[in-house]
């Protein structure tokens, strides 16, 4: 074993192979746990969306599709830089690992900045659930679907459920992004110290798995929350 290896192999493992297997398997079980965690929310969304299809579509049309699309692009790009960081960590290329990690973190922060502007917009328009929640169905839509005044009132109430789910889902996703950025910064230290190599790169690999998972959640959130509204406005 080369120098420096002994500090990265924990004493209760017999070999790097065993340590890597344990570490990856642990991460996959953790991700399974995450799937179930978000799964509860997605279930609630699916049930309400099935019961209130048109109402949800109308509420969805108040989301900012260009910003959502921008964030989707940012996250896909960050997944690429993350994958490169993992590859470089296997190859023990210290500077490249650090560089790709920094790029990933910049993109992650970029996502959060865009999200901040989106949330600010919601607060301005009072589409944040709670006592000051306000939602008005556009007159064109009322005419298009020939909605009775009572139907409009229920539609405005269902919109509050939609926005509750929107904030819950995107909020938890953003929280995962914040935690991800935190872990990424923490990984910079061993990366700069050149600790990662063929035998010991599981921290970067596991961080990569986590990052891709969080991206993947967004890939589901974007169409479910943002693109749903297009239908209603197109009359479909």
Which residues would be at the binding site for another protein (CB under 8 A)?
11-12, 18, 21-22, 25-26, 29-30, 32-34, 36-41, 43-44, 47-48, 51-52, 129-131, 154, 157-158, 160-161, 164-165, 167-168, 172
Tell me whether residue 171 or residue 223 sits nearer to another protein (CB atom): 171
Our CB check for another protein shows the closer of 22 and 147 to be: 22
Distance CA 72, CA 226 (A): 11
Minimum CB separation from another protein for residue 98, in Å? 25
**Angle, helix 149-192 to helix 94-124, in steps of 10 degrees:** 160
User: What whole-number distance in Å separates Cα of residue 93 and Cα of residue 83?
Assistant: 14
- Nearest distance from C-beta of residue 23 to another protein, angstroms: 8
Sign of torsion, CA 154 155 160 162? Answer: positive
Q: Are 197 and 231 in contact (CB under 8 A)?
A: no
How many other C-beta atoms can be found within 10 angstroms of the C-beta atom of residue 89? Answer: 29
In this complex, which beta carbon is closest to another protein, that of residue 149 or of residue 235?
A: 149
- In whole angstroms, how close is the CB of 94 to another protein at the nearest point? 26
Minimum separation from the CB atom of position 5 to another protein (A): 16
Name the residue nearer to another protein (CB basis): 11 or 146: 11
Joined tokens for residue 222: 């974007």
Closest distance of CB 111 from another protein, Å = 22
61: closest CA among 135, 167, 165, 171? 135
* Class of residue 2 by CB neighbours under 10 A (exposed 0-12, middle 13-18, buried 19+): exposed
């Amino acid at each position: 074993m080369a120098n420096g290896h002994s500090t990265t192999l924990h004493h209760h493992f017999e070999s790097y192979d065993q340590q890597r297997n344990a570490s990856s398997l642990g991460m996959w079980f953790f991700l399974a746990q995450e799937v179930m965690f978000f799964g509860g929310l997605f279930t609630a969304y699916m049930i309400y969306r099935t019961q209130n299809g048109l109402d949800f579509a109308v509420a969805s049309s108040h989301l900012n599709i260009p910003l959502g699309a921008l964030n989707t692009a940012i996250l896909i790009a960050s997944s690429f830089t993350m994958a490169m960081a993992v590859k470089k960590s296997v190859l023990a290329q210290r500077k490249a690992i650090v560089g790709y990690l920094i790029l990933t973190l910049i993109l992650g922060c970029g996502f959060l900045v865009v999200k901040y502007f989106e949330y600010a917009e919601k607060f301005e328009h009072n589409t944040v659930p709670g006592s000051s929640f306000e939602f008005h169905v556009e007159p064109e839509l009322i005419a298009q679907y020939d909605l009775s005044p009572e139907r409009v009132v229920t539609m405005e109430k269902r919109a509050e459920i939609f926005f509750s789910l929107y904030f819950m889902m995107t909020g938890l996703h953003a929280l995962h992004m914040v935690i991800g950025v935190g872990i990424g910064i923490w990984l910079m230290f061993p990366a700069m110290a050149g600790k990662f190599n063929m035998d010991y790169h599981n921290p970067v690999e596991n961080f990569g798995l986590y990052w891709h998972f969080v991206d993947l959640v967004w890939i589901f959130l974007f169409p479910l929350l943002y693109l749903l509204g297009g239908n209603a406005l197109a009359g479909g």
